[in-house]
Homo-oligomer: A and B are copies of this chain.
Amino acid sequence: MDYRHYSRDNLADVLRAHGINPTHQRIEIAHALYSRQEHLSADQVLAIVNQRHPETSRATVYNTLNLFVEKKLIREVIVDPSRVFYDPNTSAHYHIYNVETGRLTDIDAADVRIEGLPELPRGMVTEGMDVIIRVRRG
């Protein structure tokens, strides 16, 4: 999937490819995340989407972000107890979290080797692995 061009037309195709009906609001929300390639909280998405004219409701932003997560268009990043971040990068990668600024940075998982993890209990499957390095100014 090529996300280099984030025109609203392209994004509509991306949504369709993930089985999502591309409405105006959904395209705006996808655009907020993809055009920035940043980690945004739901509130930040709401604020960005509403800088343009039409008011989009809070409920729609939350509904849509959850829908995108379910359809694997974006990923939740849980690093801060006070809010969830949403990540338009769904390829395998990890995160550096600056606990002072709240800024998240990506680490490509291809560069990292992790060995010695235990076997999962039988009947269990991995849904995902998060690696979070918490940093501050030293």
A residues near B (Cβ < 8 Å) are 76, 78-81, 83-84, 96, 98-99, 107, 111-118, 120, 123-138
Contact = CB atoms under 8 A, between A and B. Distances in A.
B107 A111 contact: no
Contacts of A126: 133-135
A112 B115 contact: yes
A95 to B, nearest CB: 10
Given A81-B84, A113-B116, A117-B107, A129 B131 contact: yes
B114 A107 contact: no
Given A78-B79, A79-B78, A133 B113 contact: no
A127 B120 CA distance: 28
Nearest to A85: B81
A58 B113 CA distance: 43
Contacts of A81: 76, 78, 83-84
Interface-centre pick from A80, A115, A133 (highest chain B CB count, 10 A): A133
